Chains A and B, each alone.
Chain A
Amino acid sequence: MTAIADNINDLSRQILAGNIGAGARAIRWLDDGDPRGADVLSLIFPHTGRAHLIGITGPPGAGKSSLTNTLITEQRRRGRRVGVIAIDPSSPFTGGAILGDRVRMAQHTVDPDVFIRSIGTRGQAGGLSRSSHDACLVLDAMNYDVIFVETVGVGQDEIDVVALAHTTLIIGVPGLGDEVQAVKAGLMEAGDIFVINKADRDGYDDTYRQFELMLHLRAESVSRNEIDKTASAWSPPLLRAVAKRAEGTVEIVDATDAHREYLQNSGHFVKRSSHREREQFICLLREAVVDEIMEGMDEDILNSILRREIDPYTAASHELARWRGNTTS
């Protein structure tokens, strides 16, 4: 393998040529908030937007990694190059992490057409890391056809992956009565494809019926929704799997393929990506502006808030006025 270039232009060219070390280095920079990451991104961005981003989410231990492992096998059988971003939680106390998702995908480690990257959440809520989207762009530029994004084990509210992915798989499991309740609120509205894994376990039939019922309720509320007509055109399938024995894999990949086709035919494939990039643009602007305001800010205002002499709303409008005065003069 050729050495990783240390200059941004050469490194970007290596990424576009599919060089694994170069892509891995760029993801590192983006994950670390190293400014070189943004430089690389600016060069490779025009070459992205082609890959199919598939989110895999569900409660802790549901079998997300095991299932991803079998989905990689099936995608490879269909001749596609596969990238994986696997996210595990960082300790909120030390910032350290044990990232173990790739243990279950070890059989694909030396396949040159599979790239697996473990990422810690590093303080980000929502089930992803700050860098997840950017890491997907790098893999996209490296010409991976399908990119799986495995979230941390989630409750009902950590569904940022829905905004990142074209297609979101929600993984449920039998025997977690409360878990289904938790899955219900946030995740049921979010998913494009539902999979009940560990179908070899007791309680599968009950879990299947519960999911079926909730999907039925979801379908009813969607059909009443006059505004978002497009949402009703896809009705989410409910599938069974035993990831440990690679059962149900073909059906799941058939479903993700069908969803991609549906998105492409309806124009939503491009729409979902552009919405994501718009959100990121706004978020970056917001950060930059806050950064700038804070830089010129008098520390006293924070103390005044602490002493309850001024409320946060008034303080914010004062600071905004001061900042506007500075930028216009």
Chain B
Amino acid sequence: MPCARYLVNTMPTASWVGFKMLKKTRPLRILLAKLGMDTHTVGITVIAHALREAGMEVIFTGLKQTPDMVAAAAVQEDVDVVGISTLSAGHTRSLPKLARLLREAGAGDKLLLAGGVIPEEDRQLLEDAGVDRIFTMGSDTRDIVAYLQEWWLNKSEPTEV
């Protein structure tokens, strides 16, 4: 019977130890995406690797996404954070739309981050529309990781695991 292998480890204690560890380190899940025709990929790649190194699960949806696609994927993946990288303008329309779609999908509690080339004069508009935090050009990835870790630590959970 080929099925006999399912989940039955030759070292039963190994999976037990793994399960205990897993309970303690419930990883943060973050969706990273780029909207529209913006093809600047360096920043989002750097961020993805930094977050992976920090023990987070990064769900990458790829380039050329629409706000509708990002909102739908965020719900299916049940991520804690949605991060958008934007370097080719258009963010004053696409980000408020995404924030609205997330709220409409019942996912307004997810943290919404944006990074890339975002002029200072757009900040207020974006924050008013529901973008929680903006990291522009030259941000230290360690600051981004620290910010997320602290947010994750303070996030109230309905029950402790």
Chain B contact residue count (CB 8 A cutoff)? 54
B73→A4 contact, CB < 8 A? no
Any B CB within 8 A of the CB of A178 = no
> What's the tally of chain A residues with a CB closer than 8 Å to chain B?
61
Contact A290 B48, beta carbon cutoff 8 Å: no
Provide the bound-state CA to CA distance between A118 and B61, in Å.
10
Q: Which residue of B lies closest to A99 (CB)?
A: B59
Which candidate, A88-96, A193-201, A303-311, is the interface stretch facing chain B?
A88-96
* Interface 0/1 of A88-110, CB less than 8 Å to B: 00110011111110110010011
Report if A2-B7 is in contact (Cβ < 8 Å); known contacts: A95-B27, A98-B52, A190-B2.
no
Determine whether the beta carbon of A124 is less than 8 Å from that of B18: yes
Assess the B58–A97 pair: CB atoms within 8 A: yes
Residues of A within 8 Å of B158, CB to CB, are 6
- A123 near B106: Cβ-Cβ < 8 Å: no
Nearest A residue to B56 by beta-carbon distance?
Answer: A96
Bound-complex Cα distance A243 to B12 (A): 39
Contact (Cβ within 8 A) A163 B2:
yes
Interchain CA distance A32-B29 in the complex, whole Å: 11
Known: A122-B22, A160-B5, A290-B16. A94 touches B53 (CB 8 A): yes
Q: Is B152 an interface residue (CB 8 A)?
A: no
For residue B13, CB closer than 8 A to chain A, the reply is: yes
Verify B62–A103 contact, CB threshold 8 A.
Answer: yes
State which of B1, B25, B52, B77 has its C-beta within 8 Å of the C-beta of A97.
Answer: B52
Shortest Cβ gap from A150 to chain B (Å): 14
Contact of A21 with B58 in the complex, beta carbons under 8 Å: no
Whether A20 is near chain B, meaning CB under 8 Å from some CB there, is yes
* In the complex with contacts A96-B54, A100-B60, A109-B61, A1-B104 CB distance below 8 A: yes
Contact call A110/B77, Cβ cutoff below 8 A: no
Give the 5 A-B residue pairs with the shortest CB-CB distance, closest first: A163-B6, A103-B62, A96-B52, A24-B78, A163-B3
What are 22 contact pairs spanning A and B, CB under 8 A? A1-B106, A4-B106, A33-B161, A36-B159, A96-B51, A96-B53, A98-B48, A102-B60, A102-B73, A103-B60, A106-B61, A106-B64, A117-B77, A118-B59, A118-B77, A122-B27, A163-B3, A164-B6, A283-B6, A283-B8, A287-B15, A290-B13
Taking beta carbons and an 8 Å cutoff, which residues of B are in contact with A?
1-9, 12-13, 15-16, 18-19, 21-23, 25-27, 29, 48-49, 51-62, 64-66, 68-69, 72-73, 75-78, 104-107, 158-159, 161
